[in-house]
Amino acid sequence: MTQNDELLLIAKLGRAHGVHGEIRFFPIDETSTTLGSVKKLWLGRDDNEPKQAYAIEWAKAMGRFFAVKLKGVDDRDLAMSMTGLLAYIPRAALPKLKSQFYAHELLGFALIDENGKVWGRVLDVDSALASDIIIYARPTGGEGMLPWVDYYVQDVELEKKQIGVRADTMPQIDEVYDI
């Protein structure tokens, strides 16, 4: 990993799992299986702190968490001392998706309705109970939120870096979800 690689937060470490250094990793995205496929990750206390690299010996999904064995972490006491650390991987280490996309790939995309009006640019995609939420910066200033449901979001065009939205619903959404 070079200094320029952007790290993506993927999990938070819980308590030890067993007596041989295994640790519970709780994925930030509860549906993610990334921990089962990466071979190396970086641990730290927060985004601004330097991270220490660890090789993964094995990882096994255990419901809400993954039991993970890190190379060099061989006893329960050391595993317990790592509780609360955050786990990161370089964005480039994410498995390639064939017909889907990762939320971070949509940052900066334009929200455009079928009449060509630009409603804003994606700042973030956040998870919520009912659906994901697109947080966007308006061209005129301020921010808005758009629920990621088929009724409002019509399509995503990765090549054009834009998300199609409905012209007939955006004025109400833009007014109601002002943040």
Read off the pLDDT of residues 19-78 as tens digits, 9 standing for 90 and up.
Answer: 999 999 999 888 778 888 889 999 999 878 889 999 999 999 998 999 999 999 999 999
Please give the pLDDT value at position 29: 80
Please give the pLDDT value at position 2: 42
Please give the pLDDT value at position 96: 67
Confidence of residue 1 (pLDDT cuts 50, 70, 90): very low
Please give the pLDDT value at position 4: 41
Q: Is the pLDDT of residue 109 over 80?
A: yes
Please give the pLDDT value at position 57: 96
In terms of average pLDDT, the best of 111-115, 146-150, 173-177 is 111-115
Secondary element (H or E) of residue 174: helix 170-176
Which residue ranges form the domains of the chain, and what is each CATH number?
A: 7-92 (2.40.30.60), 103-176 (2.30.30.240)
Strands 66-70 and 23-27 come out as antiparallel
Distance CA 75, CA 73 (A): 6
pTM over 0.75: no
Enumerate the H helices of 13-163 as residue ranges.
Answer: 76-81
Report the Cα–Cα distance between both ends of the chain, in Å, rounded. 37
Residue reference for tokens 């549906």 = 31
Closest listed residue to residue 156, CA positions, set 143, 166, 165: 165
Read off the pLDDT of residues 119-164 as tens digits, 9 standing for 90 and up.
Answer: 999 998 887 767 788 999 999 899 999 998 889 998 988 889 999 9
